[in-house]
A and B are shown apart, each in its own frame.
Chain A
Amino acid sequence: MAVYDRRYGPYEGRLTPRRTRFLVLPAYSYQEVFASKAFIVFLALWGVWALLVLPILIYLPHNLGALESIGLDPEALKGVFEINASKALGFFMIPSTIVAYLTALVLGPALISSDLRNNGLPLYLSRPFGRWEYVLGKSAVMLIMLSLVTWIPGMLLFLFQCYMGGWTWIKQYWSVGFGVFMTSWIWITLLCVISLAISAYVKWKPVARLSLILIFIVLPSIGQVINLILRTDWGSIIDMRGMVTIVGATLFGLPNNSAIPVPAAWLSILSFSAFCIVLMAKKIRAYEVVKS
């Protein structure tokens, strides 16, 4: 089917492996999202904090000469620079969850809605590309990007600290690495399924974005209202960010200060994720079937 002869012709070249074809979707999504300079600046700022500032903060207490050369007393700052679970949470984990959430706000709303808005799904699903491959491809857009801002820099920092702190530190604080990895995955998976479910139902991008904001504001508020009316703490179980905080603290080896037990928090996260997946599965079809 060469341009010059304008004739129909079959394609006879090699084909890409089927199992990796879902990665076509992230590639196309990233081309669009990285066209935004604001998004690149936002990522760059996070990169400076996570991959430049934090490594320096890890490095300084292991180089007393460097501290002295900038006019600081190493002995006085020893406790300040010591890396433990609370500091890992405060300096990296909490900011990284916020960055992941903001990234999800940018990426998530358009993921499926742009295909659904103009009946694009039959074009995908009429190819050797199933519904679950489609969902996997769209999820990969979120999971890869959110990994880049959460657990990947987190684990790099952890490995750097392991190298600097040696076995003594590792034996004492191995749960920091485990906590960073697991909490990041719980958070990004939750963000991913919520974003995709919203994107499947709300076709207008700004409204989808607003919905993603409201879920993390309205649900905790409803939880508080339930707590007040029923004089209980169980209303907070619908506050997903709160539930991830409870689970995350346990994974970091910190005590659970909430009235909600950890298994209940796990159950809440899993149920909410399953609910989002069911919603998504109902909507992601080549055609809507109206049952009589």
Chain B
Amino acid sequence: MNSVIELENLGVCFGRHQVLKHLTGSFSGRSIGLLGPNGAGKTTLLHCLLGFHPPTEGTARIFGRDILKDGTAIRELIGYMPERDAFVAGMSAVRLTRLMAELSGLPPRAALERAHEALYYVGLNEARYRKLESYSLGMKQMAKLAQAIVHGPRLLFLDEPTNGLDPPHRARMIKMIQEIRDSGKANLVISSHLLRDVEECCDEVLILKDGEIATYCNLEEERKANLRFIEIETQRGNAAFAEAVGNLGCEVAVLNDRKIKTVLPENIRIRDIYQVAADQNMQVRRLDYKRDSLQDIFLKAMGVSHGGV
């Protein structure tokens, strides 16, 4: 698969403070999540890729183009939704979105058409004629998304897209991000504090800590792999039950006299486990996919023990 973003020993310093340190990696997911605590360098990484902050060392490539040499050509392919409030005072949403489309190179007529379409798409409908100052926080987020997608970019940078949104607006934003991802017409990079958002929208996750890559994982593969790990809690002593499950061809580990962990082979289904339990007259109290959640991955990357949270 072709890389969307390649980092090559990328570093960014603000004065003496090194914000990004020797980032190296190649990312090719349809939707890449950027996670990390405050000050980890997520936004700085996005800004560096957009050319706002020049790298002090190394470089990066987007769709194979170097950010140092082809900055302008790269920005033609990118749509950016900033984290903070960002609009031009005194402008209506449709006017701002049209202006941004024209600055991206769309002719005035096409820009106006796309501006209306983008604002309809994000659900601003008639509110698109109102001045942006009068918008609620949720509407401003939608307007920011509209200006980011108006020129139909191939890569979307979304910085904290669900910041400050109430649950209905958040659900709507997540749905749109998933639609854009599933359309296959744009790749996404989503920077967020919210693990749930990243888990719902991303298939790859890059976790930054103190300006360095703490972990990079492919959530899709993790999910597929972890689907076969199962933890079973029974009502009473389970030695015979564990043996019977083992006889099905599963690897079994007995955690205590009521809990076992097992890895299901491809040909064994959950139903078969229940069947064994029925045959043994064993009551199954709980059955969980014991997969690592994104939270587990994140906490491991941050070096925080599970018990500490």
B104→A128 contact, CB < 8 A: yes
Contact with A along B72-91 (1 / 0, CB 8 A): 11011011101011111110
A6 touches B120 (CB 8 A): yes
Which stretch (A9-17, A180-188, A254-262) binds chain B? A9-17
Least distance between A134 CB and chain B CB atoms (Å): 9
Considering the chains assembled together, what is the distance between the CA atoms of A115 and B87 in angstroms? 7
Asked whether A3 and B116 contact (CB < 8 A) given A127-B104, A286-B52, A289-B53, the answer is yes
Interface residues of B in 39-72 (CB under 8 A from A): 47, 50-53, 72
Bound-complex Cα distance A161 to B106 (A): 44
Check if A42 is an interface residue, CB within 8 A of chain B.
no
Q: Does A245 contact B (CB under 8 A)?
A: no
Whether B110 and A13, one on each chain, are in contact in the complex, defined by CB atoms closer than 8 angstroms, is yes
Closest chain A CB from B90 CB (angstroms): 6
Task: Please measure, in the bound complex, the distance between the C-alpha atom of A28 and the C-alpha atom of B147, giving whole angstroms.
Answer: 16
When distances are taken between beta carbons in the complex, the residues of chain A under 8 Å from B117 are: 1-3
Which A residues lie within 8 Å of B84 (CB)? 119
Give the shortest distance, in Å, between B93 (CB) and chain A (any CB). 12
- Interface size range of chain B in the complex: 35 or more
Q: Given A285-B52, A291-B14, are A8 and B104 neighbors across the interface (CB < 8 Å)?
A: no
A24: chain B residues at CB < 8 Å are 99, 102-103
Q: Contact: A8 with B180, CB < 8 Å? A: yes
Contacts of A1-54 to chain B: CB distance below 8 A: 1-3, 6-16, 18, 21, 24, 28, 32
B85 → A minimal CB distance (Å): 6
Q: Say yes or no: A128 contacts B75, CB within 8 Å.
A: yes
Q: At the interface, yes or no: B209 with Cβ under 8 Å from chain A?
A: no
Nearest residue (CB) in B for A32 is: B90
A124 at the interface (CB under 8 A from B): yes
Docked complex Cα distance between A110 and B90 (Å): 10
| B186 x A8 contact (CB < 8 A) | yes
Given A7-B183, A8-B185, A115-B88: A123 in contact with B75 (beta carbons within 8 A): no
Question: Which residues of the other chain, B, contact A290 by a CB distance below 8 angstroms?
Answer: 14
A4 to B9, CA, bound (A): 46
Q: For B103, what are the chain A residues with a Cβ–Cβ distance below 8 Å?
A: 21, 24, 124, 127-129
* Also in contact, A119 and B86, with CB within 8 A (given A7-B183, A126-B80, A128-B75): yes
Within 8 Å by CB of B147, from A115, A123, A292, lies A123
Question: Contacts A3-B117, A126-B75, A126-B80: A10 and B154 contacting too (C-beta < 8 A)?
Answer: yes
Q: Decide: B72 and A8 in contact? CB cutoff 8 A.
A: no
Are B72 and A128 in contact (CB-based, < 8 A)?
yes
- Asked if A122 and B80 sit within 8 Å, CB to CB, the answer is yes
B307 contacts the other chain (CB 8 A): no
Interface check A120, CB cutoff 8 A: yes
Contact B52 A125 (CB under 8 A): yes
A287 within 8 A of B: yes
Partner of A1, one of B51, B76, B114: B114
Which residue of chain B lies nearest to A17 when distances are taken between CB atoms in the complex?
B105
Q: Are B106 and A13 in contact (CB under 8 A)?
A: yes
Residues of A within 8 A of B158 (CB): none
State the CA gap A123–B151 with chains docked (Å).
13
**Least distance between B104 CB and chain A CB atoms (Å):** 5
Which residues on the B side are within 8 Å of A115 (C-beta)? 88-89
Chain B residues near A172: list those with CB within 8 A. Answer: none
If A14-B107, A292-B14 touch, does A122 touch B90 (CB 8 Å cutoff)?
Answer: no
Residue of B nearest to A129 (CB): B103
* A interface, CB within 8 angstroms of B: 1-3, 6-16, 18, 21, 24, 28, 32, 110, 114-115, 117-120, 122-130, 285-287, 289-292
11 extra A-B contacts, CB within 8 A, seeds A126-B82, A292-B17: A1-B114, A3-B116, A11-B152, A16-B107, A118-B132, A120-B88, A126-B50, A126-B157, A128-B103, A286-B52, A292-B16
Closest 4 A/B residue pairs (Cβ): A10-B152, A291-B15, A15-B105, A11-B152
A-B contact list, 23 entries, CB within 8 Å: A1-B121, A3-B116, A3-B121, A8-B179, A8-B185, A11-B114, A12-B152, A18-B72, A18-B105, A28-B99, A115-B89, A119-B82, A123-B80, A123-B100, A123-B147, A126-B75, A126-B78, A126-B80, A128-B73, A128-B105, A291-B15, A291-B17, A292-B15
